[in-house]
Amino acid sequence: MVSFSLPGQLHLPDELLHVIAILILAWLLMGLSSRLVGVFRHYMNTRANSAEESRRIETLARVFRYLSTMAISLIAGMLSLSALGISIAPILGAAGVAGITVGFGAQSLIKDYFNGFFMLLENQIRQGDVVEVCGKTGVVEDVTLRYICLRDYEGSVHYIPNGLITTVTNKSRGYAYAVIDVSIAYRESIDEACEVMREVAGQLRVSKELGPKLLDDIEIAGVQDWGNSSVILRCRFKTVALEQWGVRREFLRRMKDAFDVRGIEIPYPHLTIYAGQDKKGNAPAFRLITPRNIG
């Protein structure tokens, strides 16, 4: 065995020096790959035409950094074993047999990685999107090949394996619609209520805060349903993605004030008590029951 002497009478074998060199080189390559991914991300962000493209670039950059780190670590590990005189061929052969055995028990894990790969390839989910998957809705905080991380409105964090995802509802693509139901009493004029809705929508369009978030004028579909105590009118606004909820809340707030000014009733459930009639058409009088007249 050839050894190398350092000052201070420290003797290191060549094999160990090779391993140290391999690890240092791997560390440098990880830093270089991270820097290259960062440069690529910055370059693509400068050419991105929308916030959606920027979110996709950020997501892909995180995945590329993870894959490059894993690949460099795996290659450095095999080279280090070879430098120490350990043949990796039997290890690879045993790993192949073990992989087949483990594969039967890790089918769900393999499915996670395959689903995650195709979701990223098809650009279904990106970091920062608001999505609904597996009955959970929230902002995508992290996307990996194995799972996605969602944070819901209450702040709870959900980790969902990609293998469980069959349907993705993305609420962040291009534009959205704020669908709003407005209830009025049966005695009120539907035409007058629609006129008020258009007036309030016009106020939103000229608003400095909400105007840029609206992509089109209000669309009034008309009578949506006859409720138990109200006529339900449906309308919608075409908005910038993720702004539909804020537009809906502000529209309903202003509609309440506008209905109050016009005297249009916003109904609440009514109950009519009918005591019945005898054959002659006479109805019994209602009697108020108090502790004094009980019995």
> From start to end of 23-154, where are the E strands?
130-133, 136-143, 147-151
The reply to whether 216 falls in a domain is: yes
* pLDDT, position 287: 65
* Whether the Cβ atoms of residue 133 and residue 169 lie closer than 8 Å to each other: yes
> From start to end of the chain, where are the E strands?
3-6, 10-13, 130-133, 136-143, 147-151, 157-161, 169-170, 175-184, 219-226, 231-240
Distance CA 270, CA 229 (A): 6
Give the residue carrying structure tokens 């995650």.
116
Distance CA 138, CA 41 (A): 25
The reply to whether 290 falls in a domain is: no
* pLDDT, position 254: 95
pLDDT, tens digit, for every residue of 184-205? 999 999 999 999 999 999 999 9
Residue 90 tokens read as: 């039997």
Q: Output the domain CATH number for residue 145.
A: 2.30.30.60
DSSP code per residue over 139-197: EEEEE-SSEEEEE-TTS-EEEEEGGG----EES-SSEEEEEEEEEE-TTS-HHHHHHHH
pLDDT, tens digit, for every residue of 249-264? 999 999 999 999 999 9
2 pLDDT band, cuts 50/70/90, is: very low
Are 39 and 94 contained in the same domain?
yes
Q: Is the pTM of this model over 0.75?
A: no
The reply to whether 247 falls in a domain is: yes
Kindly report which listed range (200-209, 256-265, 271-280) carries the lowest average pLDDT score. Answer: 271-280
Domain boundary among 138, 153, 170: 170
* pLDDT, position 65: 78
Q: Output the domain CATH number for residue 232.
A: 3.30.70.100
The reply to whether 6 falls in a domain is: no
Q: Is the pLDDT of residue 1 over 50?
A: no
* pLDDT, position 108: 74
DSSP state of 212: G
pLDDT, tens digit, for every residue of 123-140? 788 888 899 999 999 999
In the chain, how many domains are there? 3
| Domain of residue 239, residue span | 175-262
| Residue burial 125-137, b: 16+ Cβ < 10 Å; e: rest | bbbbbbbebeeee
Mean of pLDDT values over 44-64? 71
3-state secondary structure of 222: strand
Q: Is the pLDDT of residue 79 over 70?
A: yes
The reply to whether 281 falls in a domain is: no
Mean of pLDDT values over 110-134? 84
Domain boundary among 76, 105, 134: 105
Q: What's the CA angle centered on 128, arms 122 and 129, to 5 degrees?
A: 55
